[in-house]
Amino acid sequence: MIFAANLKCNHTRNSFNEYALTLEQELNADENVLVFAPASAFLEGEFKFALGAQNFYPCESGAFTGEIGKAMLDEFGIKNVLIGHSERREILGESEEFLRAKFDFAVKNNWTIVYCVGESLQVFESKETKEFLTKQLSNIDLDYKNLVIAYEPIWAIGTGKSADTKQIAEILEFLATLTHAPLLYGGSVNAKNIAEICNIDSCGGVLVGTASWDASNFLNLISTAKS
């Protein structure tokens, strides 16, 4: 099981230091935990969890104001990246074309990619989720060996209203017909629903936002998932 935390625009360098320390003390060494931290809080060193970047610009370095390139990620040994999160698609306006450029750049560098897809409430209510996801996924190479797909219905992100287990199972089963990549679910995962979600046959783990921002909470989720 992969347990991925998306800290979003939360945690300073100081508070992430504490966060990392708590995880380091409590995690088992064999746990597959990935933490997407804000770039300003990246830490150097080896941890029981892998550090990931929430964002990068597909360049080594260059004239891209405000962006972070490979040279900056290399300094922290970061080889895990999040691409396609709905907040970057919707708030930052990242297009399919740009996501493809990020994807190709990450592939060229052999990075592990957690690629997020997910439908809006409108698409969900029109029962067009599968078609929508198929189209989103047609943008990338589903055979890439270091690919993880995160299914995150937009209406379930940060709303406290997770998709129900049956819906998640149906969509993950469908995605499993398109790719052999591990499949994560994300969207209001919490201590009450994590065990049931992780028990879904096609579920390879979770991508957690809000409930991962506190280290003890996140650790509690991980142990609950396995109980």
Q: Binding site for substrate, residues?
A: 6-8, 158, 188
Q: Binding string, 3-32, against ligand PEP, x = CB under 6 A?
A: ---x--------------------------
Structure token digits, residue 128: 């067009």
Residue 20 or residue 156: which is nearer to ligand PEP going by CB?
A: 156
Q: By C-beta, is 73 or 189 nearer to ligand PEP?
A: 189
C-alpha 189/C-alpha 218 separation (Å) is 10
Share in percent of the chain as helix, strand, coil (round to 5): 40, 15, 45
Choice from 52, 84, 118, 187 touching ligand PEP (CB under 6 A): 187
Q: Rounded to 5 degrees, what are φ and ψ at 142?
A: -75, -5
> What is the C-alpha to C-alpha distance for residues 86 and 90, in angstroms, rounded to an integer?
6
Is 173 an active-site residue? no
Q: How far apart are CA 52 and CA 162, in angstroms?
A: 24
The stretch among 44-52, 88-96, 170-178, 203-211 that binds ligand PEP (CB under 6 A) is 203-211
Counting residues that bind ligand PEP (by CB under 6 A) gives 13
Question: Given candidates 23, 42, 119, 152, which one binds ligand PEP under the rule CB under 6 A?
Answer: 152
DSSP 76: T
Catalytic-residue membership of 85: yes
Q: Is 193 in the site for ligand PEP (CB under 6 A)?
A: no
8 A C-beta contact, residue 114 and residue 207: yes
Closest to ligand PEP by CB, 205 vs 209, is: 209
What residues form the annotated binding site? 6-8, 158, 188
User: Does residue number 119 form part of the binding site for ligand PEP (CB under 6 A)?
Assistant: no
Dihedral sign, Cα of residue 51, residue 204, residue 154, residue 120: positive
218: tokens are 């996140």
- SS3 label, residue 1: coil
Q: Does 209 bind ligand PEP (CB under 6 A)?
A: yes
Q: Give the catalytic positions in this structure.
A: 85, 152
* Interface with ligand PEP (CB under 6 A): 6, 152, 157-158, 186-189, 207-211
